[in-house]
Amino acid sequence: MAYQETKKLLMVNPVSKRFSWGNVHFPSLGLPLLAASGPDWLDIELVDEFQTALNSYPYADLVAISVLTAAAVRAYEIGDHYRELGIPVVMGGMHVSALPDEALLHADAVVIGEADELWALVLDDFKEGRLKRLYSSTTKPDVSLLPQPRWDLVRAARRDQTKEPIYSVQAGRGCPGGCTFCNVPDFFGRVYRRRNLESVLRDIEAIGRSRLLMVDDNLLAGRDFARELLSALKDLGKEWFGLSSLAYLDNDEILDALAASGCRHLFIGFETSSQENLAEVGKGSNMKRDYAGIIRRLNERGIRVIGSFIVGLDHDTEAVFDEMYDFIERNDIYVPIVNILTPYPGTRLRTKLEAEGRIISNDWSRYSCDEVVFKPKLMSPETLKERHHGLSEALLKRSRQRFSSGTEKSYGIHDF
């Protein structure tokens, strides 16, 4: 066999703010999944800045960076550093897919869309010295062929021992929702693509932990597959976190199956109780839903609700902040997350606000859902920020009082 020189690949998941859930950390799935398909001539180091800051820049022959909007400034800083040393940089992810020309100012190559079936080509081109500027996915990859993620690389890089890692499993991709503020349907598609159940169970067993995160953006979107998956999870005896649309939670059979399967926390995007706002942002799945009834039935089954809400929508007045606090308290939301409306690149919301001249900042580090980067309709940007801060403080105080016994962890407003 011919001698093959080993090359060092550094994979980085950068962050700008380190939000966490109590003392729990959820490592990102994307890079461990890509690392699993790396050829044997690569020596891979993976740094997830949610758990380990890239304070020193280790040597690498190639650097791959996954970019979300709030971390774009940090990603570009890392990319610029390595390019100044003559080390090629590849970037991908949702932000890069929306703004590839911007990313190319800080990278030698960018990957648009899901990288699973492009990554081998990128690495081969790098090896042969013919790295292209642009790699674009024209079709959705077959998720049934996804490899087992390289969580060993995350474990090896772990430095923050104060946070317990909870690893992710993906049962499928895609969300049929049409929310104008969300870039998931455009990136992953509006058709739910399920994996093979055997591969999902393989990944769960490989994690070797009693708790895990089912990271699908809308786990119950494939109803028949969801029933099959929940039945299999029941036999494993795991506790898991997940995400679901309200559209699938008005069925007691599904709620019973969730509870029996080990679901202990469910992230739900309530966003708002205003029918006008729901229509405005395309959240039809929430319209005329019995929020209180669904929350009550989940709580009765021991499933704690992580409720996500948005303030600053076009029909929001200052009254929304008190109304939202009252709703959270009245319905016993276990962990409330209240975000300021944020127009991410690549979303229909951003296209609308740009056309209306309402974007006031393109500083991506401020796109963290706790800053105001646009002009609200019925209040000033200053009022929105001040009242959001006040609501956040009130909810944090509520959290501390609720968990003061020490039997529960204390959670912050941006915790999940």
Average per-residue pLDDT for the chain: 91
* Mean pLDDT value of segment 172-197: 91
Give the pLDDT confidence score for residue 19 in this predicted structure: 52
pTM of the model: 0.92
Burial of 58 (0-12, 13-18, 19+ CB in 10 A): exposed
**All residues at 6 or more sequence positions from 216 whose CB lies less than 8 Å from its CB, including other chains:** 170, 171, 172, 173, 242, 243
Burial of 66 (0-12, 13-18, 19+ CB in 10 A): buried
Q: Which of 30, 42, 10, 34 is nearest to 117 (CA)?
A: 34
- Give the integer Cα–Cα distance in Å for 129 and 120: 14
Q: 123: closest CA among 164, 158, 88?
A: 88
Q: Measuring CA to CA, how many Å separate 64 from each of 87, 112, 194?
A: 11, 13, 27
- According to CATH, the superfamily of the domain at 7-136 is Cobalamin-binding domain (3.40.50.280)
Lowest mean pLDDT among 62-66, 71-75, 174-178, 343-347: 174-178
Q: Which residue has the higher pLDDT, 65 or 163?
A: 65
Longest CA–CA span in the chain (Å) reads 72
Q: Which single residue is written with the structure tokens 């944090």? A: 396
The whole-angstrom separation of Cα 359 and Cα 70 is 16
Indicate if the pLDDT at residue 101 is higher than 70. Answer: yes
User: What does the angle CA 143 – CA 144 – CA 145 come to, to the nearest 5 degrees?
Assistant: 85
Q: Which residues pair with 238 in a beta bridge?
A: none
High-pLDDT (> 70) share of the chain, %: 92
Q: With a cut of 90, say whether residue 390 has pLDDT above it.
A: yes
β-bridge pairing 62-66 and 7-13: parallel
Bridge-based pairing state of the strands 211-214 and 239-244: parallel
Q: Is 198 exposed, middle or buried (0-12, 13-18, 19+ CB in 10 A)?
A: exposed
Backbone φ, ψ for residue 208 (5° rounding): 70, 25
For the beta carbon of residue 73, count every other beta carbon within 10 angstroms: 17
DSSP 359: B
Instruction: Domain ranges for the chain, please list them.
Output: 7-136, 166-402
Closest CA to 225 of 201, 190, 259: 201
Model confidence at 23, pLDDT cuts 50, 70, 90, reads: low
Percentage helix, strand, coil for the chain under 3-state DSSP, each rounded to 5: 40, 20, 45
The fold adopted by the segment(s) 166-402 is TIM Barrel (3.20.20)
Sign of the alpha-carbon torsion through 391, 393, 394, 396: positive
